[in-house]
Amino acid sequence: MFDVLIIGAGITGTLIARELSRYQIDVAVLEKCNDVGNKTTNANSAIVHSGYDPEPGSNKAKFNVLGNHMFDQLTEELDVPFERLGSLTVALEDEQIPLLEDLIQRSQENHVPVQLLTGVEAQKIEPHLSKEVKAALLAPTAGIVDPFELCVHAMENAIDNGVHLLLNEEVVAIKKVADYFLVKTKTHEYQSRIIINAAGNFADCIAGMIETIDWKITSRKGEYFVLDHFQDDYVKHTIFPLPTSKGKGVLVSPTTSGNYIVGPSSEEILRKDDYATDSLTLKQVKEHAVAMFPDLPFNQVIRVFSGLRPSCSRHDFIIEYAKTDSHFINVAGIESPGLVSSPAIAKFVVDDLVKPIISLEDKPSFNPRVRPYYRLSQMLKKHQEAFVKEHPTYGEIVCNCEKVSLGEIEDALSRSCPPRSVKGLKRRTRAGFGKCQGSFCQPRVVLILAKHYGVSPLDIPLDDVGSNILLEKIKEVK
């Protein structure tokens, strides 16, 4: 019997778990995938929005602004790279300047600092920006972060503080029995006094298992390009077009890894598991990006991908008790600006929704920090040499593109939320994230994983269970 069971191990679910791990209660996280942060959290724009854009008074505005203020401390405690580089929202026509002025009014209502720049001023701080830019809105508190790394480190910290992570557990039914819930997955049954529904694109399906709901989650697909780290400071800020009803539009932004991200598109889809990309949509993304950066070098593209955002029919975050049972808490429709909002949402869920229905006593042993991560590529050369001398496996490079060492891989595998697949290791260490996309290092990665888990390389999946890379040994092929 758990005190709290969280369904979904995306960034919202894992940060709620971490917040609950401060207290002396029994908490578990159920995740249907083979890893945490494996869907929406893993495939988004990675932007820490300033908060000037959401409708004033909405949950999106409230939690965006609160969450933005929490990121410095949060990322420092969880040892996650984070940079407040600021964002620019650009007007490409004179007729759009009044729309920027409307955003200034909205930013004042949301208490977010912004500054209106002329086109010349914008081009001075972003030299590659189109000469057609007439004006731009600078939001200095915007930033960038690695959302998957943040999610993994949050889950690691929660586990270190006593939370249980249960992977490959897809929920198929929930039933109220006396004063607790019976949760059935495809393989097990679990009991919990409180359920927190943080199931992302499937949150409406989970909520519908206990009552009839008056809201719906529609998946909105966004397709992206990733460009190699071809030049430092080619783009220095996150660059947005003016937002529309479909979203914030196609952005161009640096990432914490030194790459550049371009996208997303925005298209409502019927299936909640459609992650395909298509050439027509990507062509449109490219056209929007080139309007802001005419010389953007698309010959530096190393991959494309798509992500699904859980768009709610209420057009706002749902963070509330179920209508028929206060022990079932819905945290749904957490689309953009969900990433930046997640730490504030987690605190609200615990302080305002969980505490009123269950006694929470502080855990004296709670530690908000993870064990430090040593990233060889981010060390100065003289520090690299001294560190490798003391830790020789950090001098054995496995991924040449991203300069990832065996020591970094072994460290990831030694932690409380380790990778169980090739992609899981790739996201934690960047082994396979470079220009060759794992063409050279992937065989070595498979062997490292197999050795660590004491299994055959045939049993190592690319991602979720069943996505095995190797089928059989060549000498055994008939």
Question: What is the residue whose two structure tokens read 């709610």?
Answer: 312
Residues linked to residue 305 through DSSP beta bridges, in sequence order: 224
CB half-sphere exposure, 331, CA atoms < 13 A: 34
- Maximum C-alpha span of the chain: 70
Contact 337, 60 (CB under 8 A): yes
Helices (H), 296-421: 338-348, 381-390, 406-413
Q: How many CA atoms lie within 13 A of 366 on its CB side?
A: 17
Residue whose C-alpha is closest to residue 165's, from 174, 153, 155? 155
128 is catalytic: no
Distance CA 74, CA 68 (A): 10
Segments in 354-474 forming alpha helices (H): 381-390, 406-413, 422-429, 442-453
Query: Residue 418: helix, strand or coil by DSSP?
Result: coil
The CA distances from residue 453 to 164, 216, 270, 406, in Å, are 20, 41, 38, 16
Q: Which two tokens stand for residue 73?
A: 């401390």
CA-nearest of 152, 78, 77, 145 to 427 is 152
Check: CB of residue 212 under 8 Å from CB of residue 23.
Answer: no
Q: CA–CA separation, 340 vs 70, rounded Å?
A: 9
Q: How many CA atoms lie within 13 A of 347 on its CB side?
A: 12
Q: What are the catalytic residues?
A: 49
